[in-house]
Amino acid sequence: MLPEFLPDSYSRYKEDTNVFATWLTNTAKACGHTSRDTTQIASSDPMNEAPASVRLKGNARKEAKANESSRPLPVVLPSTKHTLSTGDIITQAGIIAIHKKPAIKVPLVIQGVLRRAIRARKRCTLWFQNMTSESNKEEYEASNSSHQHFIHVLERALEILEPCFEKCKPAASKAKQPGSADNHQVPELSSSISNRFENLEVEDTADQNLDINGSEAAVSTMPTTKLPQNKNKVVTIYELERSMEVDLQFRVYCFFEDLHRVREFLIQTWQRFADGKIDLVTASLVTNVTLALVRESEERMKHSSPKLDHEDSYNSIASVIHPVPDIADSREGIRAMLQSTTLDKLVFRSTFVSMLKTIELLDRDKKKISPSSMIPISHLYLITATVLPKGYENVVADDHFLTLFLLDSMDLVIMGLMEKRDQEARRAGRIAPLPSYVPPTAFLDEITKGLTSAMFTGNITVTSAFQSRLLVDMQNILGDRIEQAYKQLRHQGAASLAALGNKWKPGSCMEPPMPEGNPQQWISDWGSVEASKKAILVSLAVHSVVKENLMVGYKQAKMALYESDEQDEIFSANGPLSFLGGMSTGLERIQSSSDPAFLHNHNPVYCGLEKLNILTAMENVGVDLSNYLCSLAPMAHLYNALRQTGLLTVSWPALDEAIELNMSLLFNGTLPTTAHQINSRYLLCMKCPVTAFARNHRGQKPDWQAVMKKLDFAHASAESSKHLRAYLDGTDSPEKFLHSMVKESRHTPSKRGRATSQLEMLTQLRDFLPQCVARLEVDRVTLSRQCARLFRLIRSAFKTRLGIEHVKEGVEFGEAFGKWNYITVMLAFDEAFPPRHSRPPTQHQVDGESQLAIAAEVTRNFISEVKSEPPIQPFDVVAATDRERSHYENLQMPRSTQRFMERL
């Protein structure tokens, strides 16, 4: 069973109180206390539920250590759950405190979870005290009283039990091991966030020694002899008597507190990107996975109570702890919405207002083009005479950016509606069907998905408000550099298209673009029909999604056809905020951005994920080509030998990087430096048997026929790349992907067997991804073709200058040609390095017209040629999608699309 990955503070705090209640009740019973009957609320069957992780004791623990198990083993025990009233807590605490034979000691872990639960509820109570002083006192008075009573009971129990507390033993400090869980910096609620919340006390999220659940608390009070032999023993867990509805405000408060902790983690992630410490793909993927988990966390929250389960879940969830005023038809509602208190900041109120006023003023029937202008939030302050809050300039700047982004997001909604209408017309037979191919589409990141859904439905969720807040955070962190993310994507697209070598004929509305060239030549270039088809599909995706981006093309068409200088009428007579229409006349509006690529230029998450999409596809194609040409691995060995001998002094950066990132695959972990190592590592690479290296080996070494047969040695994508591909394709959920990647990172767990916390897992992903991305960024396609071309040049020089002909005329094609690359290097090594030499090779051994010396000369000239090639420039997407107005007027379109365009 996969763990829940986002920090769910409410579940943790509730478990803390259950742990304390279970320990308290079972210990009181051991002291002779007979409790009144409690109500059984649930039971668990170990066959149906995941087992509780229970710490072994006594002989069982010794046996585990004898079996070299460094982590506690789980014991599968059935359990029953009973409710416990708060009135029993004080009674049972008193019984334990006065028990003398033997005296009871309260374990450190029980002390810790109780204090943590009290701190959390105190923060929530202080929150509601601030709430009642600022707004609705009556609405929250009952809940506040309930919280205070519950806290008083827990604090009184803590006070009674304090004389029985187990004392903490001082432990010698130990240096943290590299790669240990403790080295991962998981953000707590930072001081900046604490200050925003008026210095509310913030608990330490790194309570690493407080990992215990109700089952463990129950087992810890059982006799050692009953564990784990008595497998049928039923564990009794006690829960304090508090319904979900009574605790709803506390749960929602914890949810928003968790969101701020997640926000702090993501801000830290993008600051690292801005500082050059991590790459774009890493920052984007970590952000997208985190946002997906936030969305799923909100879904769980919604389903926990009918009161929360609404489409516009921001209203239903946030209003539990802070009223969400109605701004549709009153100035007072707007003024209340523009409050900037501590409470408003917790629930991302200013971001919500920016989204709300933009969405409310859009044409709700979705039949017309989205407006090209929108009122800024400053109008609402001006019209309602609201006192300007502290940081007003930042609020206005954030609203301006977010409004521009939302206006362009509406264009994505319109494009989706156009496509949906065309599909319905095709199904009805009103227009001709498209050819039988699936057109490539852009990757849909969580921010784009969330905001376009809000624009389409008009429903704002907590997740979409959080995504908007994060979008603004990224803009504030990166500033003008935010557009570099889209430049990286365009450069990766251009480099990939150049490596694949396909050129595309322009398509039309009814026909897809077609590749130029001869299908037989494609098969020759890639080695098989399947490989050539795969390469063409990748090329088509890059051409269609990145170079001729539909969104950029649509916006340019809109700008070409919609040239009205008049402001849009966004205040309909009976529509939302219609009373503001006359008041806002003459006030300057936010005009839609004139940048056709504004959405992509300001959404680095999309750019990083689309780049990753290309990289994983290119690696897949590159692996196929590398296995077909058989050029990269033998060239790596030849290049290393030339460098070790000193015959080659110039470096080949692309090959150096490929060797460094694939050292284990190519050289068994380290670069060979001696003649013996050069020979033996190369024979291992060729899959020669170990017996070939024995001192008493007989026969030819190597057996060329055997080598040719065994050279089915295949490069393969790394396991991490497979997980990345599965996530991008939607095969793996975010939870499964995160679990798989953390496992793949081979992260060393804590010695205590402590479950890795949720943000720790995301931090581990952030630490592990850069090495995965570095491997993906090696251009295997270009490098394999360059190595194959270099081998041809080397063999040509061998034939001309030495009269050595490795491959007969007409055979340099297909599988046999690739395998001869290995033989070429092997023959050169046999000539240059006599067998069983352990000292470093010298130039004296390989001087003159030897094969290795000639190979060095040819390679030196080839590297100079490669370095002189002009650098690849990023796609100019705006130029590639620019069309004259006449192009759209003369274009043959489906009638449904024509009717839509006529409205422009």
Check whether 111 has a pLDDT greater than 80: yes
Check whether 245 has a pLDDT greater than 70: no
Quote the pLDDT of residue 461: 96
Quote the pLDDT of residue 459: 92
Whether 238 contacts 18, CB under 8 Å: yes
Check whether 281 has a pLDDT greater than 50: yes
CA torsion sign for 108, 114, 116, 119 is negative
Quote the pLDDT of residue 299: 93
- Least trusted range by pLDDT, from 26-30, 52-56, 538-542, 744-748: 52-56
| One-character DSSP codes across 768-829 | HHHHHHHHHTS-HHHHHHHHHHHHHHHHHHHHHHH---SS-TT--SSHHHHHHHHHHHHHHH
Confidence band of 361 (pLDDT split at 50, 70, 90): confident
- What does the pLDDT look like over 795-826, one tens digit per residue? 999 999 988 876 654 444 444 567 788 888 98
At 145, which amino acid appears? S
Quote the pLDDT of residue 841: 58
Check whether 519 has a pLDDT greater than 90: no
Tell me what the pLDDT averaged over the chain comes to: 77
Confidence band of 19 (pLDDT split at 50, 70, 90): confident
* Residues ≥6 apart with Cβ < 8 Å to 590: 373, 374, 375, 376, 400, 403, 404, 407
Return the higher-pLDDT residue of 687 and 202: 687
Helix then strand then coil, in percent of the chain rounded to 5, is 60, 5, 40
- Least trusted range by pLDDT, from 243-247, 537-541, 780-784, 876-880: 243-247
* Residues ≥6 apart with Cβ < 8 Å to 94: 160
Which pair of tokens denotes residue 421?
């209408």
The arithmetic mean of pLDDT across residues 222-239, rounded, is: 56
Check whether 225 has a pLDDT greater than 50: no
The DSSP code for 103 is B
Return the higher-pLDDT residue of 866 and 15: 866
Check whether 61 has a pLDDT greater than 60: no
Return the higher-pLDDT residue of 525 and 713: 525
Which pair of tokens denotes residue 462?
């907590």
Domain ranges of the chain: 9-167+183-242, 271-614, 630-715+779-867, 719-776
Q: How far apart are CA 477 and CA 496, in angstroms?
A: 30
Q: β-pairing, 40-44 with 514-515?
A: unpaired
Quote the pLDDT of residue 614: 97
The arithmetic mean of pLDDT across residues 544-554, rounded, is: 90
The arithmetic mean of pLDDT across residues 330-334, rounded, is: 71
Q: Which residues of 117-132 are buried (b: 16+ CB within 10 A; e: fewer)?
A: bbbbbbbbbbbbebbb
Check whether 479 has a pLDDT greater than 90: yes
Q: Which of 261, 257, 256, 269 is nearest to 187 (CA)?
A: 261
Quote the pLDDT of residue 206: 43
Listed as own residue / partner, the contacts of 804-809 with beta carbons closer than 8 Å and 24 or more positions apart are 804/851
Quote the pLDDT of residue 224: 41
Whether 166 contacts 209, CB under 8 Å: no
Helix and strand numbers, DSSP H then E, in the chain: 38, 7
Confidence band of 463 (pLDDT split at 50, 70, 90): very high
Check whether 627 has a pLDDT greater than 70: yes
Residue 835 φ/ψ, nearest 5 degrees: -65, 155
Classify burial at 513, counting beta carbons within 10 Å of its beta carbon; exposed 0-12, middle 13-18, buried 19 or more: middle
Percent of the chain whose pLDDT exceeds 70 = 68
Confidence band of 397 (pLDDT split at 50, 70, 90): very high
Best mean pLDDT range from 141-145, 362-366, 380-384, 439-443: 439-443
- What does the pLDDT look like over 34-59, one tens digit per residue? 766 556 655 544 434 443 444 444 55
The DSSP code for 169 is P
Classify burial at 541, counting beta carbons within 10 Å of its beta carbon; exposed 0-12, middle 13-18, buried 19 or more: buried
Within its chain, how far is the Cα of 346 from the centroid?
Answer: 24
Reported as half-sphere exposure (CB side, CA atoms, 13 A), residue 93 has a value of: 22
* Residues ≥6 apart with Cβ < 8 Å to 599: 405, 408, 409, 411, 412, 448, 551, 606
Residues facing residue 40 across a β-bridge: 82
Within its chain, how far is the Cα of 150 from the centroid?
Answer: 39
Whether 599 contacts 409, CB under 8 Å: yes
Quote the pLDDT of residue 311: 87
The arithmetic mean of pLDDT across residues 766-789, rounded, is: 95
Confidence band of 73 (pLDDT split at 50, 70, 90): very low
Check whether 649 has a pLDDT greater than 80: yes
Quote the pLDDT of residue 196: 41
Quote the pLDDT of residue 547: 93
Q: Which of 696, 691, 671 is nearest to 682 (CA)?
A: 671
Confidence band of 885 (pLDDT split at 50, 70, 90): low
